């Protein structure tokens, strides 16, 4: 029996939860003890209800300025608050307290560089799980992550600045930058085609199964094409996507978690039904013709398995990289523009028969891959680490 601390520090959406909870359950099935630390403390009850120890992850202070175009993984961390030495020191202190309390044998990080750092300082065994974005490829300097690359001087500057930050935190001086991103075991819980920094040599265990939780809704009986959309309210294009779906000859189901119920009812007109909460996707995906999302790897994987082509509207770099990968594979259309052209993009996607055929073929191919339960497989690998 070993004790695992599964830590999620960055990334605000449900994808992380959807990954780490099944992983924790799989570890527990194998007889291990699991504690969670979540970035979003409002999600802790999902773990606590299931009998897990559930901690609020220490959070860095939000930086006053945000660089919209970070050049590499080091730059992304600087963007997320790693310039702020006082905050970094405080957060490391709080991870120490948390680790002292949870007493893990190994730390499993799902985009949790501060947990990785604390575990490295304390010589704990470490692993990473994720969709690939947090697992920076190793090179010196850390490689460019934006489409189009970056000049080497800029990459070196970002690395150097991150090193300077670490050097000012007790016990972190001399810890190599790579230790923030990579561990002894690094599990890619995604398909190579969905890896925003891939494909690459690595342990692709595949994405986790579709969430069993959420509100259960059904398609109506009509024969019009079925579009499933998973959208963020904070995307400025949200209303335009809704309008485009309402104008399309399709029936659409839109999950917009966080939208108040009465607003969702008001938005449900034409062939569109909007729900302000997470939906149970599996039954909907069985019979879907196309999906609309932002490029979150979880929903994208669901759509790929269902053979549905995707219209993707990325909101940040990770989603853009995922979207670009899927466009390369010929199974998605990416929309990077403003709201005015969303309607045309949706209409083009729905009319694109070859796109749909490629998506179907891709799903068949995924189905033929040697499959296993990704969570169980990951648990077995992590168990070997803690032994």
C-beta of 101 vs 249, nearer to other proteins: 101
Closer Cβ to other proteins, 1 or 86, answer by number = 86
Nearer to other proteins, 41 or 344 (CB): 41
- Other Cβ atoms closer than 10 A to 90: 16
Q: Are strands 33-38 and 3-8 parallel, antiparallel or unpaired?
A: parallel
Residue entry with tokens 């405080």: 90
- Tell the smallest beta-carbon distance from residue 83 to other proteins (Å): 12
- What is the binding site for other proteins (CB under 8 A)? 12, 39-49, 53-59, 61, 64, 84, 86-87, 89-91, 93-94, 97-98, 100-102, 258, 260
Q: 370: which 2 tokens?
A: 């040697």
Rounded CA-CA distance 143/14 in Å is 28
- When the beta carbons of 77 and 197 are compared against other proteins, the nearer one is 77
In the bound complex, what is the minimum distance in angstroms from residue 259's beta carbon to other proteins?
9
CB 161 within 8 A of CB 78: yes
The pair of structure tokens assigned to 165 is 């930050």
Minimum separation from the CB atom of position 55 to other proteins (A): 6
Write down the least CB distance from residue 8 to other proteins, Å. 12
Residue 247 DSSP symbol: H
Q: How far is the CB of 346 from other proteins (least distance, A)?
A: 27
The DSSP bridge partners found for residue 6 are 36, 108
Which CB sits closer to other proteins, 169 or 183?
169
Nearer to other proteins among residue 60 and residue 359 (C-beta): 60
Quick one: which of 262, 246, 17 has its CA closest to 254? 246
In this complex, which beta carbon is closest to other proteins, that of residue 264 or of residue 327?
264
The least distance separating other proteins from the CB of residue 56, rounded to whole angstroms, comes to 4
Nearer to other proteins, 10 or 181 (CB): 10
Q: Of 176 and 258, which CB lies nearer to other proteins in the complex structure?
A: 258
Among left, alpha and beta (phi > 0; psi -120 to 50; other), residue 295 is left
Listing DSSP states for 334-368 in one string gives E--S-GGGHHHHHHHHHH-HHHHHHHHHHHHHHHH
**How does 343-354 read in b/e, with b if 16+ C-beta sit within 10 Å?**
bebbeebbeeee
277: number of Cβ within 10 Å: 13
127 in Cβ contact with 183 (< 8 Å): yes
The minimum distance between CB 239 and other proteins, in angstroms, equals 16
Residues found in the chain: 387
Pairing of strands 33-38, 53-56: parallel
Work out how close the CB of 285 gets to other proteins at its nearest, in angstroms, rounded to a whole number.
24
**Whether the Cβ atoms of residue 34 and residue 28 lie closer than 8 Å to each other:** yes
Closest approach of other proteins to the CB of residue 118, in Å = 13
Structure tokens at 345: 């993009």
Tokens of 162: 């991150």
Cα 299 to Cα 280: distance, rounded to the nearest angstrom = 12
Q: Which two tokens stand for residue 259?
A: 């939208």
Closest to other proteins by CB, 27 or 54: 54
**Cβ atoms of 61 and 84 closer than 8 Å:** yes
**What is the closest distance, in whole angstroms, from the C-beta atom of residue 40 to other proteins in the complex?**
5
């Amino acid at each position: 029996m070993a004790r695992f601390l599964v830590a999620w520090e960055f990334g605000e959406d449900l994808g992380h939860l959807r990954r780490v909870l099944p992983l924790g359950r799989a570890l527990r099935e194998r007889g291990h003890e699991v504690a969670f630390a979540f970035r979003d403390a409002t999600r802790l009850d999902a773990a606590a209800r299931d009998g897990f120890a559930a901690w609020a992850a220490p959070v860095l202070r939000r930086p006053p300025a945000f660089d919209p175009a970070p050049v590499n993984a080091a730059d992304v961390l600087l963007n997320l608050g790693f310039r702020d030495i006082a905050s970094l020191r405080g957060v490391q202190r709080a991870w120490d307290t948390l680790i002292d309390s949870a007493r893990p044998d190994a730390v499993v990080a799902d985009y949790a560089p501060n947990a990785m750092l604390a575990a490295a300082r304390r010589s704990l065994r470490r692993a990473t799980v994720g969709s690939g974005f947090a697992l920076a490829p190793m090179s010196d300097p850390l490689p460019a992550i934006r489409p189009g690359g970056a000049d080497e001087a800029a990459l070196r500057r970002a690395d150097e600045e991150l090193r300077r930050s670490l050097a000012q935190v007790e016990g972190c001086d001399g810890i190599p930058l790579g230790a923030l991103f990579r561990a002894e075991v690094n599990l890619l819980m995604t398909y190579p085609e969905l890896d925003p920094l891939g494909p690459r040599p690595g342990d692709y265990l595949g994405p986790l199964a579709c969430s069993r939780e959420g509100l259960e809704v059904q398609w109506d009986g009509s024969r019009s094409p079925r579009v499933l959309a998973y959208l963020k309210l904070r995307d400025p294009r949200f209303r335009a996507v809704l309008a485009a779906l309402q104008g399309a000859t399709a029936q659409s189901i839109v999950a917009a978690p966080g939208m108040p119920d009465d607003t969702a009812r008001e938005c449900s007109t034409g062939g569109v039904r909007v729900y302000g909460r997470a939906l149970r996707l599996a039954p909907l995906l069985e019979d879907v013709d196309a999906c609309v999302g932002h490029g979150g790897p979880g929903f994208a994987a669901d759509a790929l398995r269902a053979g549905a082509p995707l219209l993707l509207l990325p909101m940040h770099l990770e989603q853009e990289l995922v979207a670009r990968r899927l466009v390369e594979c010929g199974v998605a259309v990416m929309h990077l523009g403003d709201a005015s052209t969303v309607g045309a993009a949706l209409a083009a996607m729905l009319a694109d028969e070859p796109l749909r055929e490629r998506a179907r073929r891709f799903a068949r191919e995924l189905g033929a891959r040697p499959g296993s339960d990704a969570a169980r497989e990951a648990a077995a690998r992590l168990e070997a680490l803690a032994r």
